[in-house]
Structure formats: structure tokens, C-alpha cells
Amino acid sequence: MVLAVPNAVRPTLIALSHLRWDFVFQRPQHLLTRAATDYDVIVVEEPIWTDAAAPGVEFLDREHGIRVVQPILPHGTSPADSLDHQRRVLDGLVANIKGSLTLWYYTPMALPFSRHIDADVTVFDKMDELSAFANPPPLLLALEAELLERADVVFTGGAAMHKASAHRHANIHCFPSSIDTAHFGAARGGLPDPADQAAIAHPRIGFFGVIDERMDVALVGEVAALRPDWQIVMIGPTAKIDPAHLPQAANLHWLGGKSYADLPPYLANWDVGFMPFAINDATKFISPTKTPEFLAAGLPVVSTAIADVIAPYGDLGLVEIATTAPETVAAIEHVMARDRNPWFAKVDAQLAKGSWDQVWSDMHALMLAANPSTTNIKETARV
């Protein structure tokens, strides 16, 4: 147990992220909002490119005391000047820190402007295999190798990624996607149908999340074509794909992005959850947060063959796995027809095993073990 020190300066955690804080509420938001109970949390995003005449910086205050920092760069800024600006922004933040400092990386691409920082603890939360995404930066793999050497503790976002990475660090731990059961469990009690969904007929087969290269959009279109009497509801922003290339049909509804707070009413009025992930390099190591979220909402789920969905959810009979469009249709028909009471009992037993609160508590214990002095004031220069 770590005892609070009267009048102690709160430690600071600076997260270096390739993801926008306000884009989609996912793993970083779940973890860092909880970290804010123990740390002053600052999230430094990748630069925003604008028509500004000179580099700048935007500070945004978000719920739970999170401070979001966005470096601003004019279009045409050279890579060297971009790194220099990001380094100066980070140095300005660090110069004002009196307590201990944890650097929390989501992307190795932040190393060139942060490797000089003398952090008390360095964490790499490897939530995705970024090198498998479309058009990865040429230096990504080399920088990831360097970050793995520097990190005091490494977390992986799922079992498949942990299995592939376990040999690369002596202090690496698997923390798959967890669940805010109370938030999504509200859908089980029945909630009013959102206005942009109310006129859509049933049965409704729904997806929520980022619509990008990890989605098998062809499968979505094929399922809609095979069962024109089903309504396929797709919620989420698009990224890295052209929305004009998404399949279109009378029973296929692209409703756009929704806030995390607004998701339960949509799920409460669906009949089946759908996870049409493509089987490609970008999905080889994903651990979809929406798997337990669908289950907490009381929705039967049909997913493509993602390793971290098959084990444990498919193996336990909590999620149906399908590969082709005909298999997907058959699986959806099966889950809509079955008695849900025995399934609910198994679902709730599985969900009771974890929570985002527990994940953060376990991560924090590992961070403190990596350097127990992080609760104390460090007076030495960091840069």
C-alpha cells in the first residue's frame, strides 16, 4: 500500500499519443481518466497542421482534470522544425513539474522529441501494432525497438499481441480491453430510441466504432444484400478510408460518430451486435473494446475471426464467430432465435472478472514497483 504524503506534490503523467483525445472514447481515455485520480495527467497529441503564420500550441481542459496539449504547425513546416517545436512544447510542460514524472507512450514516433526527458518511470502501452496499419512511418519499427529498451514497464492491449511481444521486454504485461459495466449495462434496462434511429425498422444489427481499414466493408454490404429485411446500423467516424466507397443500400444506415455518453441508447434498441472486422495485418493483434461493451449491454454478438475475440469470448460461447456473409447471416439468425437466459448467466460471470478500474489499479501497481520513488518530489533537472 502506498500511503499519501501530507502536502506532497502530486506526480505528473504525460501521455504522448497519436490518437486525438476528442475523437473516440477508447482505451487511452478509459485508462488516463482513471490515472487522473493519482496523477496530474497531460495528453500531448500529434501536431495539428493549419494555415497559421507561425507555430503555436493549444491547451484544452477536459473532464476529470485532463489537460490536452496540441502543438500547432503551419502547413509546409519541415520535419526538423516540426520536431523542434514539439520538443520545445514538451520541455515547457516538463519545466513546470515539481513532483515525479511518468512518461506514458502510445506511439514510438514521439521519441525523437522526448528521448532527452529524464522521467522517473517510462511506460509503453502498446495498444495496437502500428506497423501493421496502412502507410506506417519508415522509422516506426526502429523507434519502437528503442522505446522497448527505454521503457520500465510495457503493457499490451491483448493476448495475441502479448504472445508476439513477450520476448522483447523483461517487464511486459497483458491487459486486454476491459469494461465499464455500469455505463453499457444501462442499455439492458431499456432506453428511449435516439431520434436518428427511431424510424429504422427491426431487426437491427448494429456496429459502433471507428470505420477504417480494419473493417470488412464488403462483408457489411454482402450481409445487407442477403437479408434486405434486416437493418444494418453503423455508428462511428470514418478514418483512412473514403466514405464514398462505403456500401450503400436501403437497409444500410451510416449514422456517423456518436459520443461515448450517447452510445447506450443506441445499443438498447438493437437486436444483435455486429463486429465485421477484416482479417488482415491491421487486425492481427487487435483486442476490440466493443466486445465486452456489447455483452454488458445485453446484446448477442457475431464477429469475424479475430484472435482476441475467439479467445476467450468465442471459446466460452459468448460470441458467435463467422467468416463469410452466409455464415454471418446464419450466426445472426441463431443468436436471435436462442434462449438468452443461460447466455446472460455466462456473460455476467465473465464480465465480473474485470473492469477498467481494476486494470488501472493493476497497471499502477506495476508502475510503482518499477520505481517506488515516483510518489516523492524530484528536484533534479529533467531536460
pLDDT given for residue 131 in this prediction: 77
Q: Please report whether residue 6 resides in a domain.
A: no
CA pair distance 276, 332, nearest whole angstrom: 12
CA pair distance 289, 176, nearest whole angstrom: 8
pLDDT given for residue 4 in this prediction: 43
Do 193 and 334 fall within a single domain? yes
Ranges of residues in the chain whose predicted pLDDT is under 70 = 1-8, 372-383
pLDDT given for residue 375 in this prediction: 53
Q: Please report whether residue 264 resides in a domain.
A: yes
Do 172 and 187 fall within a single domain? no
Domain enclosing residue 318, as ranges: 181-351
Confidence (pTM): 0.88
pLDDT given for residue 374 in this prediction: 60
Q: Are 116 and 139 in contact (CB under 8 A)?
A: no
Do 210 and 268 fall within a single domain? yes
Do 193 and 272 fall within a single domain? yes
Q: Please report whether residue 110 resides in a domain.
A: yes
Do 214 and 257 fall within a single domain? yes
CB contact set of 322 (below 8 Å; sequence gap of 6+)? 302, 303, 304, 305, 328, 330, 331
pLDDT given for residue 6 in this prediction: 44
Return phi, psi of residue 131, to 5°.
-65, -20
Do 144 and 171 fall within a single domain? yes
pLDDT given for residue 325 in this prediction: 98
pLDDT given for residue 134 in this prediction: 72
pLDDT given for residue 72 in this prediction: 97
Q: Please report whether residue 81 resides in a domain.
A: yes
Residue 124: all three cell numbers together: 509503453
Q: Please report whether residue 7 resides in a domain.
A: no
CA distances from 97 to 51, 73, 113, 304, 380 (A): 32, 25, 18, 46, 11
Do 329 and 362 fall within a single domain? no
Do 235 and 165 fall within a single domain? no
pLDDT given for residue 382 in this prediction: 62
pLDDT given for residue 380 in this prediction: 47
Do 225 and 202 fall within a single domain? yes
Q: Please report whether residue 278 resides in a domain.
A: yes
pLDDT given for residue 58 in this prediction: 97
Question: What's the total number of domains in the chain?
Answer: 2
Do 345 and 363 fall within a single domain? no
Residue 3: all three cell numbers together: 500511503
Residue 208: strand pairing partners: 235
Q: Please report whether residue 4 resides in a domain.
A: no
Do 218 and 269 fall within a single domain? yes
Do 274 and 303 fall within a single domain? yes
CA distances from 28 to 22, 24, 240, 359 (A): 11, 10, 20, 12
CATH number reported for the structural domain that contains residue 134 in this entry: 3.40.50.2000
pLDDT given for residue 8 in this prediction: 66
Q: Please report whether residue 1 resides in a domain.
A: no
